[in-house]
Structure 1
Amino acid sequence: MSKAFISQVLQDSTGCTGVAANRAAGDLIAAIVKEMKKSGGFTLPSFGTFTVRKTKARKGMNPRTGEAVKIKAGKTVRFKASPNLRKAV
C-alpha cells in the first residue's frame, strides 16, 4: 500500500480532486505518525494495532566483508493484525 493508493481510494470514495485526495492522504499519514510519537501506538479498529518498540544495541555483521559492526539502540514499529483482519485474509 502506498500514499498514491490511499489517495486514489480517497478520490474515488469522496469524488474530490486528485490534489485534495493527495493532501488528505498526506495529512492522514502525518496524523498517524504524530499519534505514534506521542502515545507509542495507534489502533485502527477491525484492522490492527501499530506499536513503537525500543530495540537494544547489538552486534551485527557486514555481509560483504564479514566484519563485526555495532548497531545502535533505536526504535521500530510493530503491527499486530486484528482477528477480523485475520479472518478476512
Structure 2
Amino acid sequence: MNKSDLIDAMAEDAGITKAAAKKALESFLGNIEKSLKGGDRVSLVGFGSWSVSKRAAREGRNPQTGKTIQIAAKNVVKFKAGSDLSDAVN
C-alpha cells in the first residue's frame, strides 16, 4: 500500500473526501515529524512508538575499492510495534 492507496482507504472508511483524508494524513505525519525533531517520543498505545536514536560515527569500507571510509554520526528514527499490531500480523 502506498500513500495514495492509504488516502483512498481512509476516505472510504471515514466517509470523507479524498482531499480531507489527504489533509488529515499529512497533518498526522507532519506532527509526528515535528515531535521527533524536537526530541520527543511519539507513542500510540497498541499500535507502536517512534523514537530518535543517535548513531555514532564509525569506520566503513567502500565495497568496490576496499578503502576505509569514515561514516558520519547521525540521528535515526526507530519504530517499535505495539502489542495489538504485533498480534494482528501474527
| TM above 0.5 | yes
Unaligned runs of at least 5 residues, structure 1: none
Matches for 1:1-89 after TM superposition, within 5 Å: 1-89=1-89
Identity of aligned residues (%): 35
Paired residues in the alignment total 89
* 1:56-80 Cα shifts (integer Å, max 9, x gaps): 0001112222221111111001121
- TM-score (norm: length of structure 1): 0.84
* 2:65 partner amino acid: T
Unaligned 5+ residue runs, structure 2?
none
Paired letter, 1:62: N
Provide the TM-score with structure 2 as the length reference: 0.83
Contact 1:52 1:78 in 2 (8 A): yes
More deviation, 51-60/9-18: 9-18
- How far 1:13 sits from its partner (Å)? 1.9
